A and B are shown apart, each in its own frame.
Chain A
């Protein structure tokens, strides 16, 4: 160890690894992973989210799973929480939709309206 910068670099690199264990107030991506979700293909969606979050080096984002929300016909469902009360629900999510959700919604703060539950219901998909 020759300098403080060197230490700081190791710290930053390692921080990515353990951020999960610190209390964050950031974004939570919750993927419905009950039997219905898994059957509808939620696993690859979740994996894709983890991949995209890593690719963007997003620190304050947690990807986790949840049980059945009850609207099994709309699975795979993904809910994204930002802060205390803001929540967006995406339905019938496919792995190829994930990159757009992460870039447009999580990074830039604009939910992808055409993937949301409201849009799907209104257009009776």
Chain B
């Protein structure tokens, strides 16, 4: 094996792949060969670095130089300047603010406050090469568990660490494993829930794409702990890169004998297969997920019996989320005390969040539990673009709720979020600024759950539909006095009576926006006005005659010829014709067009 003096790491996550990283990798290999550096410089395709906003991302080691928004046409310069002559290409280095140049990844404030446990290997190793995973202590935890620990010791270690499920509910992982370990059955199953469906969430995808072996290893450990020899990973088909890399990883692990029969010569057998979901949100619910693996319709069923007693094919089963599994091996290796030293009293360790919406550094961050929302959004996330004001952040996707500005300093953990009327969820964090209408946000999420409701239970099938209809009326200015109270009553009824988690949490976005932004609902209903200026039906565009110089630019750009007037005299907008597209306002250079 050759040793190289320099490694070029190119992000192969979904974000960077779609912004062109495969072409960059090809170009690097071509240019490096052209200059005869191919014996000295190695090109590695890694998983997601997290700062998707700045993608495609390229990192050059040993310096750790962090190049952002690289194009294939930039590659010859990086190769001839940096790799050959050792001169950093300043113009491509990541800049936090104008004028400020960071040459190394570790110094960028996006990474400084992060603590990477689940994402430890993402952006560091080549996910398609098992040797690199092993080099970073991969499969050592499995070896330790099989040769030195009893199944109950494993569960005890997780219990001491205080690991809770990262998929949303926060159920103690050790408890789940303990129930399944104690359950009687000739066959037991381990399932990894990789059906990540929340809008804006991509934590699990990044782990699967960047570090698939960490999930495989943890599943084998789980198999040993509960006495199972078979695991399934239920992954959405919409994650083609993750599915491909899982397939490669499983193949390599089998080849090395880390999956299969008699692992480490201990007589322990474990194998894993991947099952693809067809994109139904409800299949992220554990009973629906199991039904789908069994080949049935993806519909939930009542609990109990819980999967730990009667799960897949009627056998004892544990289902854990991708991120939960990604923590397991490191807890075994570094000890439960290390893990429990991070986080808050009841929520230990770290949590990965996918930052999206109105935020400068869109991407993936991992922080210790107990970090405040302010630190996540402003120190790591880089704040709100265009100097706008922060209004709220939505956690937990369509099952969660919003956190308004007055609670920015709440330390984030499972329990504090529930107290605020939202939930941790799987980790999607969508940021909204002053231009977002909270009523419309609630409508958007409800629209999603109505679409994804499987229809099995009436509260979810009919109730959420009625709520959506009411919200649609409100944003169109047809809301009536008493609508808010009706929404609340119906919302609480659905929460109490729906069959599964999807229905039980579906009203959350509505209830939480009512709790914190009641005034916006009232403005829509009573004054027929959208305070954020977002709801189109409630807006009117008009021209201030004093500011209009009569250039006619707005009339030219109007797609429905709603603007009239003669050159050099103030123009007028016909509200009957106006479709409120906003094109005229964008075009006007004199600020003469306003929307109300």
Counting contact residues on chain B (CB < 8 A from A), the size range is: 35 or more
> What are the residues of chain B within 8 A of A21 when measuring CB–CB?
7, 9, 61-62, 124
Task: Kindly state the separation between the CA atoms of A30 and B87 in the bound complex, as whole angstroms.
Answer: 12
- A123 CB within 8 Å of chain B: no
Chain B residue at minimum C-beta to C-beta distance from A31: B86
Answer whether A4 and B143 are a contact pair too, CB < 8 Å, given A10-B131, A13-B1, A14-B132.
yes
Whether A1 lies near B124 (C-beta < 8 A) is no
Decide: B85 and A18 in contact? CB cutoff 8 A: no
Q: Is the CB of B135 within 8 A of A14?
A: yes
Contact of B125 among A18, A31, A53 (CB under 8 A): A18
A contact residues around B132 at 8 Å (CB) = 14, 17-18
The reply on B5 being an interface residue by CB < 8 A is: yes
CB distance from A120 to the nearest CB of B (A): 22
CB neighbours (8 Å) of B136 from chain A are: 18
State how many angstroms separate the Cβ of B1 from the closest Cβ of chain A. Answer: 6
- Whether a CB of chain A sits under 8 angstroms from the CB of B2 is yes
B55 to chain A, nearest CB (A): 19
Stretch at the interface among B256-264, B320-328, B388-396: B256-264
* A3: interface (CB < 8 Å): yes
Question: Would you call A113 an interface residue if the criterion is a C-beta within 8 Å of the partner chain's C-beta atoms?
Answer: no
> What residues of B have a CB within 8 angstroms of the CB of A10 in the complex?
131, 134, 256
> Is B6 part of the contact surface with A, judged by Cβ < 8 Å?
yes
Cβ proximity bits A64-108 to B, threshold 8 Å, 1 near / 0 not: 111100000000000000000000000000000000000000000
A4 touching B147 in the complex, CB below 8 Å, given contacts A20-B62, A65-B86, A67-B85: yes
Choose one: A1, A20, A30, A67; the contact of B4 (CB below 8 Å).
A20
Contact between chains at B256 and A1 (CB < 8 Å):
yes
Q: Are B85 and A11 in contact (CB under 8 A)?
A: no
Closest to A2 in B: B265
| Contact of B87 with A62 in the complex, beta carbons under 8 Å | no
Interface assignment of B553: CB less than 8 Å from any CB of chain A? no
Given contacts A20-B6, A20-B61, contact A11 B137 (CB under 8 A): yes
Contact of B85 among A17, A33, A54 (CB under 8 A): A33
Smallest CB separation, B539 vs chain A (Å): 53
Neighbour of B63 across the interface among A46, A54, A64, CB < 8 A: A64
CB <8 Å contact, B264 and A63:
no
A7 to B265, alpha carbons, bound, how many Å?
12
Residue A50 at the chain B interface, CB threshold 8 Å: yes
Q: Are A3 and B135 in contact (CB under 8 A)?
A: no
A16 adjacent to B5 (CB under 8 Å): no
Assess whether B84 is interfacial by the CB under 8 Å rule. yes
B85 and A7 form a contact (CB under 8 A) = no
Binary A-proximity of B246-285 (CB < 8 A = 1, otherwise 0):
0000000000111000111100000000000000000000
Asked whether B85 lies within 8 Å of A38 as measured between CB atoms, the reply is yes
Q: What mask results when residues 104 to 134 of chain B are scored 1 for a CB within 8 Å of chain A, else 0?
A: 0000000000000000000011000001101
Query: If the complex has contacts A47-B40, A50-B3, A50-B5, are A7 and B140 also in contact, measured as CB distance less than 8 A?
Result: yes
* Contact yes or no, A3 B264, CB < 8 A: yes
Find chain B residues with CB under 8 A from A30 CB: 86
Q: Tell me, yes or no, whether B139 is within 8 Å of chain A by CB.
A: yes
Alpha-carbon distance between A4 and B144 when the two chains are bound, in angstroms: 8
Q: How far is the CA of A68 from the CA of B59 in the complex (A)?
A: 23
Neighbouring A residues of B135 by C-beta, 8 Å = 11, 14-15, 17-18
A34 at the binding interface (Cβ < 8 Å) = yes
Residue of B nearest to A67 (CB): B87
A45 CA / B87 CA spacing, docked (Å)? 18
- Shortest A46–chain B CB gap in Å is 8
Contact B3 A54 (CB under 8 A): yes
Tell me, in angstroms, the Cα distance from A15 to B124 when the chains sit together. Answer: 13
Write the nearest CB–CB distance from B334 to chain A, whole angstroms.
16
Instruction: List the B residue with the shortest CB-CB distance to A12.
Output: B135
The 5 closest A-B pairs by CB, nearest first: A65-B86, A14-B135, A1-B257, A14-B131, A63-B5
Which B residues are closer than 8 A to A by beta carbons?
A: 1-7, 9, 39-40, 61-63, 84-87, 124-125, 131-132, 134-140, 143, 147, 256-258, 262-265
13 pairs, CB–CB < 8 Å, chain A vs chain B? A1-B257, A7-B140, A11-B134, A11-B140, A14-B131, A14-B132, A17-B132, A20-B61, A24-B62, A30-B86, A33-B84, A33-B85, A34-B87
Give 11 new A-B contacts, CB below 8 A, not counting A17-B131, A34-B86, A63-B5.
A1-B139, A3-B265, A4-B147, A10-B131, A11-B140, A20-B6, A20-B62, A35-B85, A38-B85, A64-B6, A64-B86
